[in-house]
Structure 1
Amino acid sequence: MLNKVCVLTIKVRDLKESLEFYTNVLDFKVSKQYGEKIVSLVHNEVPIVLEEVETVGVGRNQVLLGILSEDIEKDFRQLKDKGVKVIFDEPMPCPPGRYFIIEDPNGNQLEIVEFSNMN
Structure 2
Amino acid sequence: MLNEICALTIKVKDIQESLYFYSELLGFQVSKYYGESIVSLQHKDLPIILEKANDLHLPPKGNVLPALVSEKLDEDIQALREKGVTVIFDEPKPCPPGRYTVIEDPTGNQIEILEFSK
TM-score (norm 1): 0.49
TM-score (norm 2): 0.49
